[in-house]
Amino acid sequence: MQIPNDFLADSCTGPGIDFANYENVHNWLVSLGLPMYEEKLKLKGWNSLWNIKNMREDDLVNCGIVNKRHLRSLSTAIGVLNVNQHKIGKV
């Protein structure tokens, strides 16, 4: 099985998910390099990291996020958020 080149490139140059800020939605999105989606998420009621950790890709699309790379980055970051949920709300 081969890995598509764009996925490999994204995984090497994507946002620093290991260094994400879990203090709040704003800081988390900024740390991912995707602050432009804060308003879209909040308009649909996704206003806390405790809620966002339950999002699926179709929820992201429903918020108006359609860029494939951004969807992939956010989906990965949400998975990492679940692993690191003990850090939510901490600086």
For the segment 44-80, what is each residue's pLDDT rounded down to a tens digit? 999 999 999 999 999 999 999 999 999 999 999 999 9
pTM: 0.78
Average confidence score pLDDT of the chain: 86
The predicted structure's pLDDT at residue 89: 87
Measured CA distances, 72 to 10, 58, 67, 89, 90 (Å): 9, 12, 9, 24, 25
The predicted structure's pLDDT at residue 18: 63
The residues near 18 (Cβ < 8 Å, ≥ 6 apart) are: 80
Q: Is the pLDDT of residue 17 over 90?
A: no
Q: Is the pLDDT of residue 9 over 70?
A: no
